[in-house]
Amino acid sequence: MNPTKNNNHLLNDNLNLCSLLLFVLTLLFSAVLLLLLAPAVWPSPVTLPLERAFPTNHGVELSQLKAWDSVRHRRLLQQTTTTYVVDFPVRGTFDPSQVGLYYTKVRLGSPPREFHVQIDTGSDVLWVSCGSCNGCPETSGLQIQLNYFDPGSSSTSSLISCLDQRCRSGEESSDTSCSTQSNQCTYTFQYGDGSGTSGYYVSDLMHFASIFEGSVTANSSTPIVFGCSNLQTGELTKSDRAIDGIFGFGQQEMSVISQLSSQGIAPRVFSHCLKGDNSGGGILVLGDIVEPNIIYSPLVPSQPHYNLNLQSISVNGQPLPIDPTVFATSSNRGTIIDSGTTLAYLAEEAYNPFVNAIVAAVPPSVRTVLSKGSPCFLISSSVSDTFPQVSLNFAGGASLVLRPQDYLIQQNPIVDGAVWCIGFQKIPGEGITILGDLVLKDKIFIYDLAHQRIGWTNYDCSLSVNVTASTGGGRSEFVNAGELSGSTSLQDGPHKLIHIGVMAFFLYLLVL
């Protein structure tokens, strides 16, 4: 060890410390000097008139002021910050004998209340049951507690009037209308199964979990517009699969994905991965799941639903004799991706060749029977070894490959075997092809609205995924099935802001 070298190091360290202190003192002295000279150097202040932003005849809740400020702050930062990955838990299964739907939870209002809502890519609006609802079930066979939203009990709730621009955006569709007597923006939705709901629109806070740069924020919130249902009909009135409402993930302006995107909170892309086993569940995120094997097909433009251009169907690699015009998009034809549909549906011209090809590919030892109009098969071996592979071939060269489990449904097991029935249903005459949960499960599906395309790949939805808030790639976050994961504490966010604020202050002094 060299004592002289150590002394030199100490001397250099002391000199560096003295230089740093001198630099800081110089900055502080310059700041004080500028403040003293400011009246003489800077021009006299300009007086600007101020107007009250809130009415004086009644008070405004602090929570509502904070909500408005939060939206404004996000708008100010849109050009310099990145949107967040937003996570929703997933429950339910595709199996009609169990649940027959996938649903998630949303928290609305102040104080927030929790609502279970079906995940539905075939509609646009989020709506929940409200008080004094006619036809709304009071109990659920899904073992969940049903709730009712009460706008009067939320300090941040407000009704949407007919003059509101958001109501005018909704009026572009035939579902939204205005009540001239009450000046309320109202809606009426009819679904493919014959059920329906009607009600009025409200604006209130939606609370959600988000992740950015590894930091999980469980208490994010923003005001959104959603439906308050006071009338339900058809299947929605039944208690066996009753839930609190429907979460529409369509691409119209009234959808939550469009609202959050316009506020700069979430990207114009969302993804889901629905588990197909008995336990169900999966992943649902506002963000782009990053996987190397995802293939894309373009959306048919100017359509109210997620329409893809299905061109042909192949069984064991052989194209079926189906006229392609059966799948062409028109007023009563086309192919729709719809997570709100349990099974899958084909027009009669496509259904018959499809079933005939599968029956022809099954070994002669397999017995074929009819059950409620659907072809069923009694088998004693593996379903994967017995039935052929099916390919749905879309525009852009993208094929959706279906295993037997993706077009068959297992019935109650029998002695020394099992009964499997074709899950695709026939629509008589001309009709729309609908690909529901039977086909969507056990796959990543990405709805890239920014680039007007849908992507997919086979995946084990019990595994974690990489998600990015940018559809062009970039930083990604790990998301587990149904919950966000991150190594950074919730307390890291404020500390990071403090550090950035101190640095910005010194840079400000340096510029002056």
**Which of 261, 267, 249 has the alpha carbon at shortest distance from 477?**
267
Least confident among 231-240, 319-328, 435-444, 491-500: 491-500
At 216 the pLDDT is 66
* Structure-model confidence comparison of residues 353 and 39, the more confident one: 353
At 56 the pLDDT is 41
| pLDDT exceeds cutoff 70 at 164 | yes
Confidence tier at 54 by pLDDT (50, 70, 90): very low
Same domain? For 398 and 445 the reply is: yes
| pLDDT exceeds cutoff 70 at 317 | yes
338 is catalytic: yes
Contact 110, 506 (CB under 8 A): no
Same domain? For 238 and 329 the reply is: no
Please write the tens of the pLDDT for every residue from 240-285: 999 999 999 999 989 999 999 999 888 999 999 999 988 899 999 9
- Burial code (b: 16+ CB inside 10 Å, e: under 16) for 323-361 equals eeebbebeeebbbbbbbbbbbbbbbebbbebbbebbeee
Please compute the mean of the pLDDT values over residues 483-495 and round it to a whole number. Answer: 32
| pLDDT exceeds cutoff 80 at 191 | yes
Q: What is the pTM assigned to this prediction?
A: 0.78
Confidence tier at 430 by pLDDT (50, 70, 90): confident
Residue 507 lies in a domain: no
- Choose, from 87, 338, 406, 448, the residue flagged as catalytic: 338
How many separate domains does the chain show?
Answer: 2
Q: Residue 100: which domain range?
A: 91-266
At 91 the pLDDT is 96
Same domain? For 226 and 303 the reply is: no
Mean pLDDT taken over the chain: 80
Residue 227 lies in a domain: yes
- Name the DSSP class of 47: P
Please write the tens of the pLDDT for every residue from 214-244: 666 667 899 999 999 999 999 999 999 999 9
Same domain? For 303 and 244 the reply is: no
At 223 the pLDDT is 95
Residue 108 lies in a domain: yes
Residue 135 lies in a domain: yes
Same domain? For 219 and 313 the reply is: no
Residue 231 lies in a domain: yes
Contact 315, 354 (CB under 8 A): yes
At 23 the pLDDT is 57
Among all chains, which residue has been given the structure tokens 């061109």?
311
Say what percent of the chain tops pLDDT 70. 73
Question: How many Å apart are CA 420 and CA 443, to the nearest integer?
Answer: 21
* Structure-model confidence comparison of residues 362 and 472, the more confident one: 362
Say what percent of the chain tops pLDDT 90. 55
Please compute the mean of the pLDDT values over residues 136-141 and round it to a whole number. Answer: 93
Same domain? For 338 and 405 the reply is: yes
Same domain? For 180 and 318 the reply is: no
At 214 the pLDDT is 62
The enclosing domain of 417 has a CATH number of 2.40.70.10
Same domain? For 243 and 363 the reply is: no
Please compute the mean of the pLDDT values over residues 302-312 and round it to a whole number. Answer: 95
Same domain? For 262 and 298 the reply is: no
Residue 241 lies in a domain: yes
Confidence tier at 70 by pLDDT (50, 70, 90): low
Question: How many Å apart are CA 333 and CA 343, to the nearest integer?
Answer: 18
| pLDDT exceeds cutoff 90 at 27 | no
| pLDDT exceeds cutoff 70 at 494 | no
Confidence tier at 28 by pLDDT (50, 70, 90): low
Same domain? For 120 and 159 the reply is: yes
Pick the most confident of 72-76, 198-202, 373-377. 198-202
Residue 327 lies in a domain: yes
* Structure-model confidence comparison of residues 275 and 493, the more confident one: 275
- Choose, from 87, 120, 124, 406, the residue flagged as catalytic: 120
Same domain? For 300 and 334 the reply is: yes
Same domain? For 352 and 457 the reply is: yes
Burial class (CB in 10 A: 0-12, 13-18, 19+), 435: buried
Residue 505 lies in a domain: no
